[in-house]
Amino acid sequence: MEFPPLAASYTIALPSWIEDELADVPDVVPTLEERMALVNRLADRNWREGNGGPFAALVAEADTGRIVSVGVNVVLSTGVTSGHAEVTALGLAQARVGAWDLGGAGQPRHELVVNWRPCVQCYGAAMWSGITTLAIAGSGPECEEITTFDEGPMIEDWAAAFEARGIAVIDGVAKDEAIAVFREYRAAADAGAITVYNARG
Ligand SMILES: [Zn+2]
């Protein structure tokens, strides 16, 4: 078989069902709890639709709650391993505002909302994006234990490293709801109903 020519681009794109999910979501979602509820809802639908793992994220203006972008894990649907929810949401936010630095001059403060602590890849992606707040549902071992995803060799004081760069970390938002999504995903994986990628053992 011929080896294909060099690729010149690749695409990380949201699945089409996102449009239905967002149809009833206002432009501004005022509270962090409501924004996390949206993230948990997207994460749950994402794995059921077969796009990738049970992960979702959004970027919002921190002061108003205006939704700038949403992201889901699209590793399976795009075949790109870096297509995690955070990377997807950050890239789409940067595309929308037309700037690579979400914390640059003239930008409002931006918040990244995710249904768990970032993996080792998204740790860097979040740090370089210009966000000023990272809000997560949880940061403990539950995510890896339940989903079997390997989140990589995160440093012990990862949250302090964000804070040292002016990025506030808010942990524990709607944690039980996030864990419930992971448990449903795990049950489907144990039943052999879905493809699990990057799973340990
Ligand atoms: Zn990640």
The domain limits of the chain are 25-190
Between the CA of 30 and the centroid of ligand 1 the distance, in Å, is 26
Between the CA of 154 and the centroid of ligand 1 the distance, in Å, is 11
pTM of the model: 0.95
Between the CA of 199 and the centroid of ligand 1 the distance, in Å, is 14
The long-range contacts involving 22-27, CB below 8 angstroms and separated by at least 24 positions, are 22/70, 25/67, 27/66, 27/67
Between the CA of 80 and the centroid of ligand 1 the distance, in Å, is 12
Average of per-residue pLDDT values in the chain: 95
pLDDT at 95: 97
Tokens 């796009």 belong to residue:
51
pLDDT at 201: 42
CATH 3.40.1450.10 applies to domain 25-190: no
